[in-house]
Amino acid sequence: MMGNTNTKSFVITGHSIGGATASLCALWLLSYLQHISSSVSVLCITFGSPLLGNGSFSRAILKERWGGNFCHVVLKHDIMPRLLFAPIVPYTAQLNFLLQFWQLSMTSPHFGKLAVQISDEHKAELFNFVMSYLHAATQDGEGSAPILFHPFGTYFFVSEEGAICVDSSTAVIKMMHLMLVSSSPACSIEDHLKYGDYVKTLSLKFLNHDNSMQGNIPDSSYEAGLELAIQSSGLANQELAIEPAKECLQMTRRMGPSPTQNAASLAIRLSKVVPYRAEIEWYKAWCDQQIDQMGYYDLFKGRRGSSKRNMKVNMNRHKLARFWNNVIDMLERNELPHDLATRAKWVNASHSYKLLVEPLDIAEYYGKGMHMHPNKGHYIQHGRERRYEIFDRWWKDRKVTAEENNERSTYASLTQDSCFWARVEEARDWLDSIRRESDTTKLAVWWDNIEKFEKYAMELIENKEVSQDVLAKNSSYSIWVEDLRELRELKAKVKRFPHHFPPSLDGEVVP
C-alpha cells in the first residue's frame, strides 16, 4: 500500500490490547510519512484500548501535532482503558485470567466460560484498587498521586444515551473517573465486550437524528451544549456527578483567543517585522557593491568594530529570530491553526527569512570561532538553530507550483541552500586537513568529500541557484576554489617529479 500512489489515507483500528498495537502502528506510520514528506493521512480508532505511555510520551505526540490522528472510543464502565492508572503488578495473576476470559469471549461467548473465572471478591478488589488510583489522579495538591500513564488524542466516551468527545488529558482522566463511579465490578468487566453493541446503538441514534434534549433548554447555546453533553455521557440521572462533570467539561473550553484569532494577530505582527528584513536586504545589496568584492557573507563574518550599520543588521537578525521562535512555540502549544505550516503565506515567509538570515548566523558562528570550541564543531551538526530545520520541512512539504519548475535565466537573489556557506567552511577545513595529513586513508576520505562538494556547488551555480555574492572575487568560496586548484597542481607536480620534493611529503604536499 505504501508504494501505491493512489493511496490517500490509512485507517487503523483495534480493540483492547489490539487498540494499543494499532496506536503504535499509527505512530510508526506517522513518523515514516513525515520522514518521506508524504501527504497521506492517518487515522487510528481504538476501542477499549489500555493507556500506552507516560506524560513525556503524551507531550511528544502533542508536540508533533499528531493528537488529532487518534480517536479512542471508551465505554462508560469499561475498566480496561482505566487499568494502568494503578500499579497493577499485585494483580498480575487476576489480570492474566481476565485477559484470557476477554479473549475467549470475543471469539465466542461460549468459549468465555472455559476460561478460569475470577471470584467476585477479586473483581471487587481490582475494581476498588483501580478506582482509588483513578480518584487520586483527579485530585490537586496533597491528595494527588503520580500518574504513571497519560492519555493522548481525542477520547470518545460512549453511554446508552449518546457520546461526548474530550481532547484535554486532564478532562479525560476526570471523565474516566466520574463515569466509572456509577459502575460495579462485574459491569466494568462485562462492558469491555460490548463495544459492538454500543456502536450499533449509537449509529442508529445518529441515523434517526435522535438527539433531542430532555427538560428545559437553556438560552445560552454554550449552556445548552453542556447540558446535552451531560445527558450523552449518561450522568444526567446522577446528581452527585452532574456538577463535577460540568466543571470537567468547562475545563475543555478554550480560554483566550482562538487559533484563528491568534493567526490573524500573528499576520499583523509579521507585517511589522518586514522592515527588519528589508534593512538586512539593503545591507546585502550594499555588500555586493563594495570594491573589496568579498560579498554579503564574508563582510558580515569579518566585520570589525561596531559600525552603526553592522549593529543595526545584527539587532534585526535577533529580532527576526525571536519572532519566528515565537511562531514555532505557539504552534507547538496548539495556539495556532493546525494547517498554518502548510499555508503558502507562512511557508514562503519562513523560507525567505531562512535564505536571507541563516548565512548571517553561519557567519557569526565561524567569525567567533565557535566551531573550534571543544564541545562544538561545524555549524550544520552542532550550531544550527531548530527553527531552520523546521522551516526546511515546511518548504519540503509544500505544494510545488509550475513556476518553480522553470529554469532560471539569472542568478538567484538569495542562494537557495541556506547552509551553503557552512558547507564552504567545512570544505575549507578539509583542505587544511589535507595540507597537514600524511595518512592515505584519511586523505582519501577528505578528497572524496571535497569532490562531492565541488560537484554540488557547480550544480548550484549552473542552475543559477546561488546569488552573485558567492561568485565575488574575494568570497570564501572563490578563494576555496583557487586554493583547491593550486593544491591539485602541486599534487600533479609531485607525481611527475617526485625527486624534486622531500620524500616525507609522500605525494600529498602543500606549500
Backbone angles phi, psi at 32, to 5 degrees: -65, -45
Q: Which amino acid is at 21?
A: T
Non-local CB neighbours of 2 within 8 Å, separated by 6+ positions = none
The DSSP secondary structure of 219-240, one letter per residue, reads SSHHHHHHHHHHHHHT-TT-HH
Sign of CA dihedral 471, 477, 482, 484: negative
Task: Write the CA distances from 10 to 6, 69, 231, 388, integer angstroms.
Answer: 12, 10, 33, 30
Question: Catalytic residue among 15, 150, 177, 192, which?
Answer: 192
16 is catalytic: yes
Residue matched to cell numbers 568579498: 294
Distance between CA atoms of residues 500 and 250, nearest Å = 87
Q: Does residue 78 have an active-site annotation? A: yes
| Nearest one of 127, 123, 140, 141 to 174, comparing CA atoms | 140
132: left (phi over 0), alpha (psi -120 to 50) or beta: alpha
Annotated catalytic residue 307 = no
Report whether 409 contacts 456 (CB < 8 A). Answer: no
Rounded CA-CA distance 15/48 in Å is 6
- Residue 405's CB: how many other CB atoms inside 10 A? 7
Question: What are the two backbone dihedrals, phi and then psi, of residue 80, each rounded to the nearest 5 degrees?
Answer: -55, -50
Element (H, E) at 13: strand 9-15
Please state, in angstroms and rounded to a whole number, the distance separating the CA atoms of residues 413 and 511.
Answer: 37
Of 483, 465, 370, 347, the residue nearest 416 (C-alpha): 465
Query: Among 78, 167, 361, 469, which one carries the catalytic annotation?
Result: 78
DSSP-derived pairing of the beta strands 154-159 and 70-75: parallel
- Which three cell numbers mark 347? 511557508
Catalytic positions are 16, 78, 192
